[in-house]
Amino acid sequence: MSRLIPILVVIAMAACTTYKTWTEAGDSEEEGVVSLSYEYRRFESPQVDERAGISMARDRCKDWGYRDAQRKGEDRACKDGMESDCSKWQVTRHYRCLDGPKK
């Protein structure tokens, strides 16, 4: 029984859903690209508000004179440790501004 307790603790931690918010990770007005990111730890199961991300990207694009934004891609990088044994990850999502600057 004593060997079962650590296993149950790990399983419980692995199922831990955490809600993450998008933060600005960089952008390029010249290229019309907005990047947003969030970080999570090894045993977290991150959940993000997809609508909030696209809304933030659209707002930035509109500030630059573009009409809309569309998801372009996503990267995940280890921020603490190695890929095979990472304790902290960063997810960065890229959005492309659409329809050119308003004139």
CB-based contacts of 46, cutoff 8 Å, min separation 6:
17, 18, 19, 20, 38, 40, 91
Confidence of residue 96 (pLDDT cuts 50, 70, 90): very high
**DSSP letter (8 states) at residue 29:** T
Asked if residue 67 is part of any domain, the answer here is yes
Asked if residue 30 is part of any domain, the answer here is yes
- Please give the pLDDT value at position 10: 56
16-45 pLDDT per residue, tens: 888 999 999 999 999 999 999 999 998 899
- Please give the pLDDT value at position 4: 60
- Please give the pLDDT value at position 53: 96
Asked if residue 103 is part of any domain, the answer here is no
Number of domains in the chain: 1
Q: The domain containing residue 21 runs over which residues?
A: 4-98
Which tokens go with 10? Answer: 């790990």
Asked if residue 77 is part of any domain, the answer here is yes
**DSSP letter (8 states) at residue 67:** S
40-91 pLDDT per residue, tens: 998 899 999 999 999 999 999 999 999 999 999 999 999 999 888 999 999 9
Backbone angles phi, psi at 37, to 5 degrees: -145, 165
Per the document, the length of the chain is 103
